[in-house]
Amino acid sequence: MDVVILVYDGLTPLEAIGPFDILGKLPKARVRVVGLESGLVHSRGGTLGLRASAALEDVHSAEILVVPGGAAADNLAHDPTLGAWLRRVVPTARAVLGVSTGSLILAGAGLLQGVEATTHWRALDLLAGFGAKVVRRRIVTSGTLTTTVGAAAGMDAALAIADQVAGRDVALAIAQLLGYDPEPALAPGDLFKAPDARLHLARTGLEHP
C-alpha cells in the first residue's frame, strides 16, 4: 500500500503523524513523507522539525494520500504548485484524507467544489467559501475524499480507511497496537455544540507549538 503524507512549514504535526503511524502499519505499507521541497519542515512555532524525504516533483501517485492541517493551511490553499500537484495525484488515490484544515488545501485546489466535506470548526466558513458543501460532522466521506474536524478525528478516519482498504481485522489490530479506548474519560461531547467559553479558550488561550 503506497501511502503519501504531505508535510509543510506550519503544519500541526499530530495531523500528519497520527495517520502516519496508523496507515504506516498496513500490510506491505510503503510510506513517503512529502514536502513542497525535500528537507526539514517545522511546526508553527518552530519547536518540532520533521523531515520530508521527497519533494512534490518526486511523487506522481498515491494509493492513500494524507493532507494535514495547520496554521499555514489557509495560505497554502492558494499555492498554485501544490494545487496543480493535488489535481494530478488525488485522482490516482483510492483514499484521500484531509485532516482538519487540510481540507482547505484540498478545497483550494478545486477538489471539493460541490462536495460534502468538513474541516476544523474554526474554518467552516473558509471551507464553504471554496465551494464545498459543509457538513458539521467530525468525519465526512464523499467518494474517495474524507475530511475531518481535527487531529483525533483524523486518526479515527485513518483507522476507518484501514478498515476500508485492508479489512476489519487489520483495523482492529492497529487499534490494539495503539491502545485505543472504548470509553474515553475526557470527552468534549458534540464538537459543534461546545460552550462559547471553551471555544474562546481553545482559540485564544492555548499555545500552538
Report CA-CA distances (Å) from 114 to 5, 28, 35, 47, 108: 25, 35, 28, 37, 13
In the bound complex, what is the minimum distance in angstroms from residue 160's beta carbon to a copy of itself?
7
Please report how the helices 151-166 and 13-23 are oriented relative to each other, as an axis angle in degrees rounded to 10.
Answer: 20
Length of the chain: 209
What DSSP line would sit under 84-144, residue for residue? HHHHHHGGG-SEEEE-TTHHHHHHHTTTTTT-EE---GGGHHHHHHTT-EE--SSEEEETT
Tell me which DSSP letter residue 43 carries: B
Q: Which is nearer to a copy of itself, 10 or 150 (CB)?
A: 150
Q: Which helix (H) or strand (E) holds 198?
A: helix 196-200
In the bound complex, what is the minimum distance in angstroms from residue 104's beta carbon to a copy of itself?
15
In the bound complex, what is the minimum distance in angstroms from residue 92's beta carbon to a copy of itself?
20
Strand order of the sheet with strand 30-35?
Answer: 54-55, 30-35, 2-6, 64-67, 95-98, 145-148, 139-142
Q: Which is nearer to a copy of itself, 86 or 99 (CB)?
A: 99
Q: Which is nearer to a copy of itself, 51 or 60 (CB)?
A: 51
In the bound complex, what is the minimum distance in angstroms from residue 181's beta carbon to a copy of itself?
6
Tell me which DSSP letter residue 22 carries: H
In the bound complex, what is the minimum distance in angstroms from residue 56's beta carbon to a copy of itself?
18
Q: Which is nearer to a copy of itself, 111 or 175 (CB)?
A: 175
Q: Which is nearer to a copy of itself, 39 or 110 (CB)?
A: 39
In the bound complex, what is the minimum distance in angstroms from residue 23's beta carbon to a copy of itself?
9
Q: Which is nearer to a copy of itself, 6 or 83 (CB)?
A: 6
